[in-house]
């Protein structure tokens, strides 16, 4: 990013003071790795760690969420991974994308974009996916960072070819490979891009308030989507279980 050349501490296009080094990104990686290690130890398998009790209690499972009111799964599922390859690929992508975006956004804004993207991916899976299929992974947040990177490149008037190419390749892989949550990826991608638009195209006056307001609106829209799907699934389960 151009802020590396301009000098640390320079004000970025997002209105943040560029930090000297990325801290949030490696912390997120450490948290994900520790959670994976816990599930691998519980399951006594690095490749079948989804058998772990901790994994089963945190995976995004729409039917279970509705029946048991286990809404934490919208968040915890973003820190769970299916096997060593899954977490290795996601953490590599997080390391590559996260460092520059954290410098551009500053730590607080970067955290906000990361978690709203994660929520976007989870909400898309919950609202439009198979209600009885478990989903996990940091991919929603990472695809959000991909969308954010593309918006940043366009805002800085840089060549967007590489960013677009990376997104296209990953979307094609999401479609072609079995067991991949396309909805989670696309949900994160769209929400991350929208969040980044608010960050880098915010007006100069009251920039922080504008950014926070847009993120609040995005979050509220996602909450509304989740509540609508919850009502829909609750009605279906009521009829199916004869509890109406």
Q: Which SS3 state, helix, strand or coil, does residue 158 take? A: coil
The catalytic position among 81, 174, 181, 185 is 185
Mean pLDDT split into 10-residue runs, the chain, 244 residues: 50 88 96 98 96 96 91 96 93 93 95 98 96 93 96 90 82 74 94 97 93 98 97 85 66
- So what's the pLDDT on residue 6? 43
Please give the CATH architecture assigned to the domain spanning 11-241. Up-down Bundle (1.20)
Domain positions in the chain are 11-241
The catalytic position among 117, 122, 139, 181 is 139
First and final C-alpha spacing in the chain = 57
DSSP string computed for 33-84: HHHHHHHHHHHT-SS-GGGSHHHHHHSB-HHHHHHHT-TTHHHHGGG--SHH
Model-level pTM? 0.92
231 assigned to active site: no
- Among 108, 77, 39, CA closest to 187: 77
- So what's the pLDDT on residue 9? 54
185 assigned to active site: yes
- So what's the pLDDT on residue 14? 92
């Amino acid at each position: 990013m151009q802020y590396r050349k301009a000098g640390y501490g320079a004000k970025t296009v997002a209105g943040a003071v560029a930090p000297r080094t990325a801290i949030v990104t490696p912390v997120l990686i450490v948290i994900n790795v520790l959670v994976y290690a816990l599930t691998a130890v519980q399951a006594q398998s690095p490749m079948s760690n989804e058998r772990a009790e901790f994994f089963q209690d945190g995976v995004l499972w729409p039917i279970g969420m509705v029946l048991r009111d286990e809404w934490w799964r919208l968040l915890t599922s973003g820190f769970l991974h299916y096997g060593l390859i899954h977490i290795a690929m996601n953490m590599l992508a997080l390391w590559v994308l996260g460092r520059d975006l954290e410098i551009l956004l500053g730590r607080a804004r970067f955290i906000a974009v990361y978690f709203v993207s994660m929520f976007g991916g989870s909400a898309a899976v919950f609202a439009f996916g198979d209600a009885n299929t478990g989903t996990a992974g940091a991919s929603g947040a990472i695809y959000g960072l991909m969308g954010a990177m593309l918006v940043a490149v366009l805002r800085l008037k840089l060549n967007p070819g590489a960013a677009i190419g990376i997104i296209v390749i990953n979307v094609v892989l999401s479609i072609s490979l079995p067991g991949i949550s396309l909805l989670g990826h696309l949900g994160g991608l769209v929400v991350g891009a929208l969040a980044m638009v608010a960050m880098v195209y915010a007006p100069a006056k009251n920039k922080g308030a504008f950014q926070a307001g847009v993120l609040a609106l995005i979050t509220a829209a996602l909450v509304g989507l989740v509540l609508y799907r919850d009502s829909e699934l609750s009605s279906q389960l009521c009829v199916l279980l004869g509890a109406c």
